[in-house]
Structure 1
Amino acid sequence: MNTAKISGSPVRGLTAATIGFFFGSAAISLFGPSATKLNEVMDLSPSMMGLLVAIPTLSGSLLRIPFGASVDENGGRKSFLLLMILSVIGLAGLSILLGTHYPSNMQGTYWLILVFGCLSGCGVATFSVGAGQSSYWFPKNKQGFALGIFGGLGTLGAGVFAIVLPLLLHSVGFVSAYYIWTAFMIAGTILYFIISCNAYHFQFRKQGYSEEASKAMAIEAGQELFPAGNMKQSLLLSARIPETWILVIAYFVTFGGFMALTAWLPTYWQKAHGLSVTQAGLFTSVYACLAALLRIPGGNLADKIGGLKVSLFAISLLGTVAAVMAFSSNLAVSGLCTLIIAVAFGLNNAAIMKLVPVYVSKSVGGASGWVGGLGAFGGFVIPPVLGKVVDTMGATGYYRGFLIFSLFSVIVMLILYFGLVVRNKNK
């Protein structure tokens, strides 16, 4: 007699992952706005400032690789909770440090701030865990839509927080804002703990059923995708598949690009077009929200016509519009180009995550880790490159820097065409 019990549903699993990632990505949002405050009392060098702002993104990006792969081993819930708890510890540590040392006793605390920053960045790594979880919950013909909702609504925090945080800092002050943000993260962690659940196969396995029995019962319950091994095996298996690295490159340009421009655009709008800090923040927020929300229809479109077609269109759109923006000093034209770039980012980010379970179906977690982790690493790499263009060319560099995205687009188009279209046609 079958006594197996299952809980949850695809909708519940997707909701939990989306909410968890929304809160997880919030953990590092205070670092950018607060860096100036810290610099005022710590007299940091430009390189120290750069490391301070980037360290949570760096740890959050690289941790996506092993934690994404861990989904194939434990279903994701345990990994997700661990990352959120570490993020809470990081924020709580920063809150206590600032509460006891800021502003007059901050000398010698820089390296401790970096450690807490690394821990705070763990929340960002929930992306690859949630992507793997969501993929296992849904059938292949609905994964684009599901991953679009997960990535779109989860990433929406970047735009929302760009508006909320300056207001919070202004109304309650620098130190109090960290305590409030810590409480916010604790609430998100508890909420995820209450509503989250792994896909059916992992639930059956936890109840002691064999791999074969768990898979058979999960298929009966509606699950289509299954892992081929543990975390190490998942990473190794996905790393041996060329398509994994093609998707990494494409995601590096558009998700890394999304993160890079979210950090770079406030400076661009102020320096290139003379906008105020508030206006630059508002423009950036509109861009970030649009790029995030476009992942939802982008995922749906990828389900209908194929992720590869959507990706090729989005990359070509990005390359064309970035070239126009590189030579535009008109505010209206640049504003419109930024919105179109957001559309291209949103569509391609959705399409690439749809393609992960298509091309790497036996190690979705491992592939999600590689794609999500190394792709997000672009958010750490691209801003210094844009800054270097400005250092070399002066004020004109704020415009010409966008040619980097045109160059990246050409490279990605060639790789997608020869690596996926031609290669699979010849199989």
Structure 2
Amino acid sequence: MESFKVKGSPTIGLVMATFGFFIGFAAVSLYGPVAKNLKEILGLSGFLLGLLVAAPNLTGSLLRIPFAAWVDKVGGKIPLATLLVLSVIGMAGLSTLLYLYYPNLEPWMYWLILFFGFLSGCGIATFSVGIAQTAYWFPESKQGFALGIYAGVGNLAPGIFGMILPFALKEIGLTTSYILWFGFLLIGTVMYTLFAKDAPYFQLIKAGIPREEAIKKAKELGQELIPTGSLIESLKNSARHIETWALVALYFTSFGGFLALTGWFIVFWVQSYDMEVRHAGLLMAFGFSLLASVIRIFGGWVSDKIGGELVSIIAFSMVLVGAIVIIIGGNTNFVVSLSGEILMGAGMGIANGAIFKLVPKYVPHATGGAAGWVGGLGAFGGFVVPPILGLFVEAHGVLGYSKGFIVYVILAISAIIISSILWKAYGKEINKPIEE
């Protein structure tokens, strides 16, 4: 066993974790671009429409908890590959259904489409798995930047797919578009499985090297974070920290809000301004999703410098202003509404980078478990919010698409308060782990 050589490097670990997250995370945009088509064919209410748009986010959020904690036991490769395979099954089912029946879908097929959305959403859960996998490869002083790159690049997927899919729908049709998406996901899953590598500690353990010796060698290779227990222990350990639950609340607004609006903004532009779905997809991508993804890198970087707590306060203030601006814009002032979308996208992206800088800081001995709670329950906002926005539409008609953003006003104010409390308690401890 002494001759065993660890494979990979922090760079390879980051690249493959980011790649796996990218191909799985595209499912956020699964139904947003075709929501109007399905609404008309199936005769959906505002609530059922919101539920369909949000469907991938249910499994994509809740499965983050056990799968991220599983990383602490076996490393990131097996959990992430498992989620991608489940997503492949969902996309295969959806593609088959559309090939056989679209556009002659029956109302009862809504529930089957919803189910395939749940399965496809398993790929979204790769986020917290990759977070833990990346964190184990890098020293804490570089985690903010590394995790910013991971999440920033991976987060580009919904924007890119939300932008491409409407054009593909027009040129090659809905069924062919989803079949090609299935092919992309299948090939990507195979590539991840072939080339991804776990952090040194996990490779050494799998090679049969005793734990103490594996820890020593892993630290010699630069791995600072070492898991302390099993999946259940990791979840329990991280759950004991009140800071974990504070970050869950913050992430519910920033990332859960991001997931919800990535699908919903396309519907917003189409219904509020009678816009073509292709143009709505472009506005969602460039004005919100891609912006939030790219600027997340900056959020992680600046959090390394001045602390994630202060960055969160600033970011959620941007979200608050953006939501208010959209409410003011209603469905009559395009420039005002677009300005609000851009503000919200930038604020959410920066906050996302800041919050996950704080995860290994607050819970260094159970990072996988903490990433599971924060990434899972936080991302649950992506499932909860769209149906609520749909209720505003049922109550107020077209105006409900803008009035519904009062939900984000409330969430942003709550997040600012929580961030301020954390800043007062820990703001000066920028890179120093919180003691047990």
Same fold (TM over 0.5): yes
- Other structure's SS at 1:327 match: helix
- 2:383 pairs with 1:380: yes
Tell me which residue corresponds to 1:371.
374
After TM superposition, give the deviation of residue 25 of structure 1 in Å. Answer: 1.4
Q: CA separation in 2, counterparts of 1:86 and 1:207? A: 28
| TM-score normalized with structure 1 length | 0.93
Change (3 A) 1:399 1:91: closer
Deviations along 1:239-294, one digit per CA (max 9) or x if unpaired, are: 11100010011111011111222222223334444544333222111121101110
* 2:354 aligned with 1:358: no
Q: How far apart are the structure 1 equivalents of 2:209 and 2:225?
A: 18
Given the alignment of the two structures, is residue 113 of structure 1 paired with residue 113 of structure 2, yes or no? yes
**Do residues 135 (structure 1) and 138 (structure 2) align?**
no
Residues 300-358 of structure 1: CA deviation (Å, up to 9, x unaligned):
11112221121121112222333333323532233223212211111100000111000
Amino acid at match of 2:209: Y
Counterpart residue identity of residue 362, structure 1: H
Match of 1:301 in 2: 302
Point out where structure 2 has 5 or more consecutive residues left out of the alignment: 429-433
Give yes or no for contact 1:27–1:181 (8 Å, CA) kept in 2.
no
- Superposition deviation, residue 59 in structure 1: 1.2
- Measured in 2, the distance between the counterparts of 1:398 and 1:113 equals 24
C-alpha displacement of 1:413: 1.9
For 2:346, the equivalent position in structure 1 comes to: 343
CA distance in 1 between counterparts of 2:37 and 2:406 reads: 33
1:356-400: CA deviation from partner (whole Å, max 9, x where unpaired): 000011111111111111111111112233333344455544444
**How far does the alpha carbon of each residue in 1:174-226 deviate from its partner, in whole angstroms, 9 at most, with x for none?**
22222211110011111211221110111111111122111111100001111
Question: Would you say the 8 A contact 2:26–2:158 is kept in 1?
Answer: yes
Of residues 224-233 and 327-336 in structure 1, the stretch that sits farther from structure 2 once superposed is: 327-336
Report whether the alignment pairs 1:291 with 2:292. Answer: yes
| Whole-angstrom CA distance in 2 between matches of 1:209 and 1:174 | 51
Count of residue correspondences = 427
- Is 1:53 the counterpart of 2:53 in the alignment? yes
Give CA deviations for 1:16-38 in whole Å, capped at 9, x if unaligned. Answer: 01111110012453333344444
* TM-superposed deviation, 1:108: 5.0
Secondary structure of the structure 1 residue equivalent to 2:177: helix
Distance 1:246 1:187, change over 3 A: same
1: distance between equivalents of 2:133 and 2:314?
28
Contact 2:317–2:416 under 8 Å retained in 1: yes
Equivalent position of 2:209 in the other structure? 209
- CA separation of 1:34 and 1:319: change in aligned 2, threshold 3 A: closer
Cα gap change, 1:424/1:297 in structure 2, threshold over 3 Å: closer, same or farther? Answer: closer
RMSD: 2.4
Residue aligned with 1:332, SS? helix
The farther-off stretch of 178-187 and 245-254 is 178-187
CA contact (8 A) 2:152 2:293 kept: yes
3-state SS, counterpart of residue 351 of structure 1: helix
How far is 1:415 from its partner? Answer: 1.8
SS at match of 1:226: coil
Q: Structure 1 CA distance, aligned partners of 2:425 and 2:159?
A: 38
Distance (Å, rounded) in 1 between the aligned partners of 2:168 and 2:275: 21
How is 1:191-202 mapped onto 2 (pairs within 5 angstroms)? Answer: 191-202=191-202
Letter in 1 for 2:315: A
Q: Secondary structure at the match of 1:294?
A: helix
* 1:46-195 correspondence to structure 2 within 5 Å: 47-104=47-104, 106=106, 108-195=108-195
Q: Gaps spanning 5+ residues in structure 1: where?
A: none
Moved more, 285-294 or 20-29: 20-29
Query: Letter of the aligned partner of 2:345 in structure 1?
Result: A
- What is the CA distance between 1:157 and its match in structure 2? 1.0
* Structure 2 match to 1:19: 19
CA distance in 1 between counterparts of 2:398 and 2:44 reads 24
Q: Deviations over 1:82-141 (max 9, x none)?
A: 111111111112222332344447565444433332221111110110011011111111
**1:55-105: CA deviations, max 9, x gaps?**
222111111111111111111100111111111111112222332344447
Map of 1:314 onto structure 2: 315
Asked if the contact 1:71–1:132 (Cα under 8 Å) also holds between the matched residues in 2, the reply is yes
Deviating more after overlay: 324-333 vs 281-290:
324-333
Residues of 2 paired with 1:393 and 1:179: CA distance? 37
Distance in 1 (CA, whole Å) between partners of 2:323 and 2:107 is: 42
d(CA) in 1 for partners of 2:115, 2:308: 39
1:403 aligns to what? 406
* Structure 1 residue 46, shift from structure 2 partner: 5.1
Give distance in 1, aligned partners of 2:372 and 2:308: 19
Task: Give 1:324's aligned residue.
Answer: 325
Residue 404 of structure 1: CA displacement? 2.8
Aligned amino acid, residue 215 of structure 1 = I
Give, in whole Å, the separation in 2 of the partners of 1:77 and 1:369. 16
Deviation at 1:162, TM superposition (A): 1.4
Residues 173 and 359 of structure 1, relative CA distance in 2, 3 Å threshold: same
Distance 1:135 1:256, change over 3 A: same
Instruction: Tell me, in whole angstroms, the C-alpha distance in 2 between the residues paired with 1:353 and 1:214.
Output: 27
- Whether contact under 8 Å (1:26, 1:161) holds in the other structure is yes
Equivalent position of 2:30 in the other structure: 30
CA contact (8 A) 1:30 1:165 kept: no
Letter in 1 for 2:404: G
1:421 to 395, 400, 424: 424
